[in-house]
Chains A and B, each alone.
Chain A
Amino acid sequence: MSRVAVELDFFPVQKVTSSDGAPPRKIFDRRRSFRDIQSVISKIDPEVLKNVFASGSIDRSLIGKSSVSVPSTPKAKGYQNALPPLPVYTPTFRPTSSSEGSNETTSPLTIFYNGTVSVFDVSPLAGENILKLANDGGFKAVQPADSKPGEIVETFNGDLPLFRRKSLQRFLQKRKERLTLLSSPYGGSTDSASFGQNTPAL
């Protein structure tokens, strides 16, 4: 299976207008984009990220310097070198021919980020998820046929749907079940039907 290099560009030209209706900034704001990227990456489950990094062969000795701004608290003094955002990998491309007989069908994923370049071997699903994450901040979720558009939660972009109180949720679910049972040919019998699990044997 031929490998397809997937590229993620974390520095798109700003298209979004700000909420107070100011005209879109034409000048690329690296700092803002950096925060957006950070916020996107920080939403990724750390375990997933670890696995993603581990699956590619990364030279961990080549760690880029962090240029993150640090809050001025004494405890944060040692921060500067503590948390590199991403490891650096050189070279920046991989040969597309070799397959190494692996059954995993992974492809290289190249990320250009803050002056560093990294390449990982990811499975198609992981790659798709990372792309989706970067594009619209959400994992691809299973959409059942009768769901409303907003019902499946995607990662936070101001999009938390209203959740219902557990007790009410349970009641509404049970009510549906009762209606289904009643409308079935076998429902509505003269003896007490066991709708509640607690109907004791008489």
Chain B
Amino acid sequence: MEERNASRANISMSDMIIDQVIPYITDPRDRASVSLVCRSWYDLDALTRKHVTIALCYTVTPARLWRRFKQLESLNLKGKPRASMFNLIPEDWGGYATPWVEEIATSFAGLKFLHFRRMIVTDSDLEVLAKSRGKDLLVLKLDKSLKSLVLEESTIIEKDGEWLHEIALNNTVLEALNFYMTDLSKIRVEDLELIARRCSSLVSVKISDFDILDLMGFFRAAGSLEEFGGGSFNVQPEKYSAVRFPPKLCRLGLTYMGKNEMPIVFPFAAVLRKLDLLYALLDTEDHCLLIQRCPNLEVLETRNVIGDRGLEVLARCCKTLRRLRIERGADEQGMEDEEGVVSQRGLIAVAQGCLELEYVAVYVSDITNASLECFGTHLKNLCDFRLVLLDREERITDLPLDNGVRALLRGCHRLRRFALYLRPGGLTDTGLGYVGQYSQNIRWMLLGYVGGSDAGLLEFSKGCPNLQKLEMRGCCFSEYALAVATSRLKSLRYLWVQGYRASENGHDLLAMVRPFWNIELIPSRRVVVADPLGEAVYHEHPAHILAYYSLAGRRKDFPDTVKPLDPVSFLTS
């Protein structure tokens, strides 16, 4: 009897302890482990889980999410494969926000943060979010409590600007609003101003093209604003000297800002922590002039027009830099600065000068093993590394990159995300084996034009113990090798491949079939696009394989361009 009482007391002690501890456990992998210990811990995690990221919206149904995590406050939903950001995926592939919005509106009372990435969002979806939840309720708590709405890079089917007007009228707690780089054009500036006036916690706003002069009222009203992105410069530069930015602004990205408008940033350049020059109109010299005024820069995003010289200035001046992204500028002659190429020279400077770097993504025109070794030697905090070798130069100084890649992977032991996009001969089968061998912690990888044969892939798949998501493009691997590699990569739950050696009718993919694993094919398509001259250009898009674990079974909204792999069809004609 005493024994039983004692053990009952023990149970309630540990319950009390775990109740106190669990709010501090936020990492999703830790949470997953906690939920597997016993039933009561599973229930406790379910009740207290605040944030969920669903990396692919078809892996689970909205209803299932609701059954598991009723108290969710923050949801990050992703739809189309990442390749859709590069125009590789059919527009109607899927990723509809509607079923999720319906569930959110009816069930998730506590949801405050909502992030749709690469999904298809309609105006009415946004209205549902902004308006009352149902005719039985007086007021929708959701719109009043919506703190963050991020629509960046999603396809928005826009009817009018009413949804923003609804938010402007009903919300006072909005902290972040983001429809950067969307085509939303029916929004009214007055609604932005209204939101700025009513939401005293408005910290981050990133919008589509509005002239900066038209936003002066908005800037005056947004006293708490720390981050702004978007806008546009359409009149003479002198007119912008009257613009006053909010006092706390320290993260900035101004679209179409040229060298003559750049000085409006100078007064507060020294407090800038983040600078987005991806959509600015600056040349290499302009970059040098601006960057040297920003000693506190932590995040820089720009195009390769920054050049090796700009990177050297960056390395000299910005010792606290944590994130660096260098995108690919225009290819045509005369559209970008001639100095605007990045090579091993710039990489070495940055590796030696910016020791706090955690994220580096860069398009280079030339590369050496030594520069990658430099990364491995100096950048011990690097978590995310992405390198794309541009295809304009025929001759690259130092290929293959086997040894450099190995040195980088061994030196940067914190790496969790890794992308290497090269060209034939860029990385041998041996080098690909190194990638497998030295990627203990890597969870996501994009590999382009690596390896030389199936042997490389098979060697690679012996390693990568934590690889959850793998994307491959332009590699020479056969379907069968892909199937075998998939079965070996024990953590893999998402695979995307474009460019592979197909078997007749895809029958070699049968080796990949297993329970809960959805396999979809996007057969090769011929896509007509209008080139800059308005002429029709035919792009032949090679086939894709997309495979992922799902608890939701096969999706029911396939467009014509996407075909599920049906093993049964191989048995019948």
Contacts and interface: CB of A to CB of B under 8 A. Distances in A.
A168 B498 contact: no
A171 B524 contact: no
Interface string A155-189: 11010111111111111110110100000000000
B511 interface: yes
A166 B118 CA distance: 12
A191 B213 CA distance: 12
B503 A43 contact: no
B513 A145 contact: no
Nearest to B541: A153
A192 B540 contact: no
A42 interface: yes
B532 A176 contact: yes
Contacts of B546: none
A38 B86 contact: no
Contacts of A20: 452
A51 interface: no
Given A41-B504, A167-B153, A78 B571 contact: yes
A75 B537 contact: no
Contacts of B573: 82-83
A139 interface: yes
Interface in B32-81: none
A85 B86 contact: no
B523 A46 contact: yes
A166 B476 CA distance: 26
A148 B393 CA distance: 13
Contacts of A12: none
Contacts of A54: none
Interface in B329-350: 329-331, 335
A146 B331 CA distance: 12
Contacts of A165: 85-86, 327
B549 interface: no
B507 A71 contact: yes
A163 B529 CA distance: 13
User: Chain A: interface secondary structure?
Assistant: loop
A82 B232 contact: no
Interface in B552-573: 567, 570-573
Interface size class on chain A is 35 or more
Contact of A83 (B303, B453, B505, B525): B505
Interface stretch (B136-144, B185-193, B284-292): B185-193
B473 interface: yes
Contact of B537 (A46, A71, A142, A200): A142
A71 B533 contact: no
A196 B236 CA distance: 15
A82 B572 contact: yes
A175 B209 contact: no
Contacts of B281: 175
B570 A71 contact: no
A83 B504 contact: yes
Contacts of B525: 45
B439 to A, nearest CB: 24
Contacts of B499: 156, 158, 160
Contacts of A95: none
Contacts of A17: none
A150 B503 contact: no
A166 B87 contact: yes
Interface residues of B, number: 82
A35 B476 CA distance: 14
A78 B568 CA distance: 10
B242 interface: no
B317 interface: no
B181 A162 contact: no
Nearest to B449: A158
A76 interface: yes
Contacts of A166: 84-87, 153
A199 interface: yes
A200 B215 CA distance: 11
B278 interface: yes
Interface string A8-32: 0000000000011000000000000
Interface in B501-540: 501-508, 510-511, 513, 523-526, 531-533, 535-540
Contact of A147 (B188, B209, B453, B531): B531
B501 A190 contact: no
A27 to B, nearest CB: 21
A79 B571 contact: yes
B234 interface: yes
B519 to A, nearest CB: 13
A40 to B, nearest CB: 10
A168 B278 contact: yes
B391 interface: yes
A80 B490 CA distance: 32
B13 interface: no
B234 A193 contact: yes
A150 B391 contact: yes
Nearest to A195: B234
A19 B452 contact: yes
Contacts of B335: 172, 175-176
Interface string B281-308: 1000000000000000000000100000
A138 interface: yes
A71 B542 contact: no
Nearest to A196: B209
29 contacts: A35-B501, A45-B525, A71-B507, A79-B570, A83-B570, A141-B537, A142-B535, A142-B538, A150-B391, A152-B538, A152-B540, A156-B543, A161-B391, A162-B390, A163-B87, A164-B328, A165-B85, A167-B181, A168-B327, A169-B87, A171-B255, A172-B330, A192-B234, A193-B235, A195-B209, A197-B209, A198-B208, A199-B209, A199-B234
Given A148-B331, A158-B424, A167-B153, 12 more contacts: A43-B542, A76-B507, A83-B570, A141-B540, A146-B532, A147-B531, A160-B473, A161-B391, A166-B85, A167-B278, A167-B279, A190-B235
Interface of A: 19-20, 35, 38-39, 41-43, 45-46, 68, 70-71, 73, 75-76, 78-79, 82-83, 85, 138-139, 141-142, 144-148, 150, 152-156, 158, 160-173, 175-176, 178, 190-200, 202
Interface of B: 84-88, 153, 181, 183-185, 187-189, 208-211, 213-214, 232, 234-236, 255-256, 278-279, 281, 303, 327-331, 335, 388, 390-391, 421, 424, 449, 452-453, 473-474, 476, 480, 498-508, 510-511, 513, 523-526, 531-533, 535-543, 567, 570-573
Q: Give 7 closest A-B pairs by Cβ, nearest first.
A: A196-B209, A156-B542, A163-B86, A167-B181, A38-B504, A78-B571, A141-B538
